[in-house]
């Protein structure tokens, strides 16, 4: 037990933030290898975000040159997907600052995304084929998920399973791949870590969906209640719709894809509370989180889940 | 000599068109594996084009399941790059028909491009790392080339070397990678084939640039003289600019990025002829083609170059 405790304290000494600095440096090295001044200049303007995927890789695979490279690859892929998502969603804000498509135009956002994707793939070819394939497959999944997200947002959707399948593709698949590939890298059993990553990703996104309803614009770094206004019927809305009577269902349906008035916004938030739609979504996320804990017996990874479930932004 | 002749006649019996059917089938299998109805439906609307890259792979590596897969991967990458290029260039026509961004919107074109790229990369992970890396590196190069193309089109450029560096990245790099990777696949010396592919790609694009000046809209499947109107100072324009006097230079410069009037269009075409700008560009392409022939002693590959140099569309 002492040895195990000692092992964890070593990991604690190398703090998450310090470990992430190595990943950031590796990302910049990969982008510098593209050898294009315009690309480098554009890349440094991107805000890094939580680096959840990189932290996950380092926590599972430890801190080695290979794990840092894998973490940097996964984060480059994530950055590329956000660049393209923001073009597709016509988003003007990302992580509280103006998105690249808003400041530099959609074209440059598309091109930078393509460059980051391809550079990540080039670097992936240095890994064994099973690792490279699982990460590459995740990119297909997330691109397909983005397409389904856009198609689903064109009409009202009250099918929770269809919504969760899309969430898996769009958000959880890359987190699952980060966990699976880093387990493969160090010879750990891949499936439990993959399940952990998948459930972390799903519950992460459900918490995001909840925060869109319960938080304010300053905390979110984007307008509150914007998901539903953009046509996205997230889990809280699906659960609320199930619980409403026919008259209320009509009102909620009519607000789909619209920027709500102040009174409509208040109504949505109140009904979410009175019908426990938020609570039900949170409970579902907590179930996924507990399943993930059961899959992987690792206190640090359990802490990641707890912090994610408790986050307010 | 009889044996060599016999060998070539076997290749002739399996016609290029029949070989390409196998590549088309493989491309559809890869897209079907994405398992998304919307993706499949969108993919079948794409026009195939000349399949130059696929033909090159099959001619170098012969007809095997692996070479057909490699050819399909390279063509999927090419299709993805065209989807994104058309969004970036706001092109409404591709191969004589409406582009996907024009009929289905930019968003779906971006998403389909991402899916084709990632599916191609997934499939690439089944190849040895040197093959996967050279193809993945080419995608970085072509994305970087597209970015340089867009940046260069924002101002008049009379630097032929800068133009050719961009052409190499944007067009020749993937053709070079197709040739190099297929040589690697069958254990042939990679460098001569890579040089062949690079020069084929460069001369192919220079011929394209020439055709934009000398052909009509019906033959091109897009408006004639559109390159310069879009800001692209192609080799014929750079050579013409070099030859003009100061007054004429000013006139040509002023037409940059403009849709020319009928009289301006006629003036450009006439000056291109009188100052042998077209001839000079053609001669340069022919030199590249000859260099490619010297690198690879293969009558079929020589024919590919000859057909490419003689094409009228």
Write out pLDDT tens, residues A104-145.
778 889 999 999 999 999 999 999 999 999 999 999 999 999
Mean pLDDT in residue range A186-213: 96
Q: Which of A107, A118, A132 sits opposite B125 (nearest CB)?
A: A132
Is B84 an interface residue toward A (CB < 8 Å)?
A: yes
Is B140 an interface residue toward A (CB < 8 Å)?
A: yes
Grouping H, G, I as helix, E, B as strand and the rest as coil, residue B130 is: helix
Question: Distance between CA A38 and CA A40 in Å, rounded?
Answer: 6
Q: Which residues of B touch A143 (CB under 8 A)?
A: 111, 114-115, 118
Does B115 sit within 8 Å of A144, measured CB to CB? yes
Grouping H, G, I as helix, E, B as strand and the rest as coil, residue B312 is: coil
Mean pLDDT in residue range A21-37: 95
Q: Which of A114, A125, A148 sits opposite B84 (nearest CB)?
A: A114
Question: Distance between CA A4 and CA A237 in Å, rounded?
Answer: 44
pLDDT at residue B226 is higher than 60: yes
Confidence of residue A11 (pLDDT cuts 50, 70, 90): very low
Q: Which of A110, A121, A150 sits opposite B139 (nearest CB)?
A: A121
In chain A, whose CA is at the least distance from the CA of B108? A147
Q: How far is A171 from chain B (nearest CA, A)?
A: 15
In chain A, whose CA is at the least distance from the CA of B117? A140
A238 and A157 Cβ atoms separated by less than 8 Å: yes
Is B228 an interface residue toward A (CB < 8 Å)?
A: no
> CATH topology of A15-126 equal to that of A156-313?
yes
Question: Distance between CA A153 and CA A227 in Å, rounded?
Answer: 9
B198 and B176 Cβ atoms separated by less than 8 Å: yes
Question: Distance between CA A44 and CA B287 in Å, rounded?
Answer: 41
Domain spans, chain B: 15-126, 156-313
Q: Which residues of B touch A119 (CB under 8 A)?
A: 140
Q: Check residue A171 and report its DSSP letter.
A: I
Is A303 an interface residue toward B (CB < 8 Å)?
A: no
pLDDT at residue A6 is higher than 70: no
pLDDT digits (tens, 9 = 90+) for B273-287: 999 999 999 999 999
The residue among A14 and A143 whose pLDDT is bigger is A143
Give the residue from B21, B33, B22 showing the smallest Cα distance to B122: B33
Mean pLDDT in residue range B240-266: 95
Question: Distance between CA B106 and CA B110 in Å, rounded?
Answer: 6
pLDDT digits (tens, 9 = 90+) for A46-94: 888 889 899 999 999 999 999 999 999 999 999 999 999 888 877 776 6
Q: How far is A37 from chain B (nearest CA, A)?
A: 10
E-strand stretches of chain B: 93-94, 97-98
Does B125 sit within 8 Å of A125, measured CB to CB? yes
Q: Which of A34, A143, A147 sits opposite B144 (nearest CB)?
A: A34
Confidence of residue A222 (pLDDT cuts 50, 70, 90): low
| C-alpha distances in Å from residue B27, one per residue of A143, A295, B59, B132, B175 | 18, 38, 18, 17, 18
CATH class of A156-313: mainly alpha
Q: Which of B108, B118, B133 sits opposite A140 (nearest CB)?
A: B118
Question: Distance between CA A106 and CA B117 in Å, rounded?
Answer: 19
Q: How many CB atoms lie within 10 A of CB B68?
A: 24
Of chain A, the percentage scoring pLDDT greater than 70 comes to 91
A172 and A51 Cβ atoms separated by less than 8 Å: no
Phi, psi (degrees; rounded to nearest 5) at B200: -60, -45
pLDDT digits (tens, 9 = 90+) for B94-144: 666 777 777 777 888 999 999 999 999 999 999 999 999 999 999 999 999
Is A12 an interface residue toward B (CB < 8 Å)?
A: no
Phi, psi (degrees; rounded to nearest 5) at A97: -120, 165
Fold topology of A15-126: Farnesyl Diphosphate Synthase (1.10.600)
Q: Which of A200-214, B38-52, B58-72, B185-199 has the lowest mean pLDDT?
A: B38-52
Is B91 an interface residue toward A (CB < 8 Å)?
A: no
Q: Which residues of B touch A39 (CB under 8 A)?
A: 144, 147
Q: How far is A133 from chain B (nearest CA, A)?
A: 5
Mean pLDDT in residue range B20-39: 94
């Amino acid at each position: 037990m002492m040895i195990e405790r000692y092992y964890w304290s070593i990991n604690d000494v190398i703090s998450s933030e310090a470990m992430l600095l190595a990943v950031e440096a590796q990302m910049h090295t990969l982008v510098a290898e593209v050898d294009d001044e315009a690309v480098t200049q554009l890349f440094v303007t991107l805000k890094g975000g939580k680096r959840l995927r990189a932290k996950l890789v380092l926590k599972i695979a430890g801190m080695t040159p290979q794990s840092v490279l894998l973490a940097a690859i996964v984060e480059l892929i994530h950055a590329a997907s956000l660049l393209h998502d923001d073009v597709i969603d016509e988003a003007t804000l990302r992580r509280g600052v103006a998105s690249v498509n808003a400041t530099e135009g959609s074209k440059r956002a598309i091109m930078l995304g393509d460059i980051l994707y391809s550079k990540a793939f080039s670097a992936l070819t240095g890994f064994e084929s099973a690792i490279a394939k699982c990460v590459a497959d995740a990119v297909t999944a997330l691109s397909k998920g983005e397409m389904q997200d856009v198609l689903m947002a064109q009409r009202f959707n009250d099918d929770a399973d269809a919504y969760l399948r899309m969430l898996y593709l769009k958000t959880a698949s890359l987190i699952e791949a980060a966990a699976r590939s880093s387990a493969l890298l160090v010879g750990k059993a891949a499936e439990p870590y993959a399940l952990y990553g998948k459930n972390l990703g799903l519950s992460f996104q459900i918490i995001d969906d909840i925060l869109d309803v319960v938080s304010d614009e300053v905390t979110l770094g984007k307008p509150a209640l914007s998901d539903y206004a953009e046509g996205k019927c997230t889990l809280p809305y699906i659960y609320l719709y199930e619980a409403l009577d026919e008259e209320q269902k009509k009102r909620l349906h009519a607000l789909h894809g619209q920027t709500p008035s102040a009174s409509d916004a208040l109504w949505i938030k109140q009904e979410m509370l009175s019908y426990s739609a938020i609570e039900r979504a949170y409970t579902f996320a907590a179930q996924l989180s507990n399943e993930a804990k059961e899959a992987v017996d690792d206190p640090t990874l359990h802490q990641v889940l707890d912090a994610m479930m408790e986050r307010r932004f």
